[in-house]
């Protein structure tokens, strides 16, 4: 058999060219991004997909997410193709950015920044639209997800939660959209476990009010929706 040899007998392996080529890996990223002090000033966006199976009801294959920098409040848009991202950004501007600008003080939100990767949001149509409404689009370098780490970390939380809920409820993969919606809903209403200085949930910081959780149910629970169009005078079930 092979006998135990002294480590110095293998010193030459430290400079082995082929070992370096075979074992190369990226350095671990341990940085952090400080929270913005102005609500709605900085946003981070990314897209996930295509998923292997379209969602059950709407047949979506992508999810586009935008997260606010101060509160970490996450928005999700479910789409069928990447070209639908421009519609999502317009909806985000109309429903969120306009409202924040109306309630902001001074010129804090005159210019807003949104950071994304090099793919889905860099078309000339999107850039021109965002510039026209006072939003600056910045993009990360290729193959550097750590530069968009805020939403990348949120994606991991949402994805792992969705998987766990589907496994617990014994649901197939086609329910991924419903699972991610539920995971996002809980994420926005739960305090951060990574930043002890923020004891409030993203929802509470964003809207200034405590979110109600009394209506929460276990994902995958059996329910019996009432049949509201049931004919009177019969003895058929009142629920499905």
- Stretches in the chain below the pLDDT threshold 50: 2
CA distance 215 to 194: 26
pLDDT on residue 65:
95
Conformational region of residue 201, where left means phi above 0, alpha means psi within -120 to 50, and beta covers everything else = beta
pLDDT on residue 6:
56
Tokens of 227: 């049949």
pLDDT on residue 75:
97
Per DSSP, what are the bridge partners of residue 113? Answer: 42, 136
Question: What's the pLDDT tens digit per position in 23-36?
Answer: 777 777 666 777 88
pTM of the full predicted structure?
0.83
pLDDT on residue 154:
93
pLDDT on residue 46:
92
**Contact residues for 194 (Cβ-Cβ < 8 A; gap 6+):** none
Cα–Cα distances (Å) from 65 to 51, 94, 110, 115, 194, in that order, read 15, 16, 23, 12, 20
52: DSSP letter: S
CA distance 181 to 172: 16
């Amino acid at each position: 058999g092979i006998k135990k040899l002294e480590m110095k007998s293998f010193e030459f392996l430290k400079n082995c060219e082929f070992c370096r080529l075979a074992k190369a890996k990226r350095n671990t990223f341990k940085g952090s991004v400080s929270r913005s002090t102005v609500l709605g000033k900085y946003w981070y966006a990314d897209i996930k997909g295509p998923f292997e199976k379209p969602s059950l009801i709407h047949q979506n294959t992508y999810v586009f997410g935008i997260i606010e920098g101060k509160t970490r409040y996450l928005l999700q848009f479910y789409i069928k193709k990447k070209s639908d991202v421009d519609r999502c950004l317009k909806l985000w501007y109309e429903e969120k950015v306009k409202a924040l600008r109306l309630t902001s003080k001074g010129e804090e939100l005159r210019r807003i920044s949104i950071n994304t990767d090099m793919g889905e949001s860099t078309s000339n149509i999107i850039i021109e639209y965002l510039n026209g409404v006072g939003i600056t689009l910045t993009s990360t370098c290729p193959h550097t997800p750590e530069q968009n780490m805020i939403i990348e970390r949120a994606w991991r939380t949402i994805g792992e939660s969705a998987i766990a809920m589907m496994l617990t409820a014994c649901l197939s993969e086609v329910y991924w959209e419903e699972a991610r919606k539920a995971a996002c809903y809980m994420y926005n209403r739960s305090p951060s476990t990574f930043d002890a200085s923020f004891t409030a949930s993203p929802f509470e910081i964003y809207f200034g009010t405590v979110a109600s959780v009394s209506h929460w149910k276990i994902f995958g629970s059996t329910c019996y929706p009432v049949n509201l169009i049931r004919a009177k005078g019969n003895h058929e079930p009142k629920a499905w």
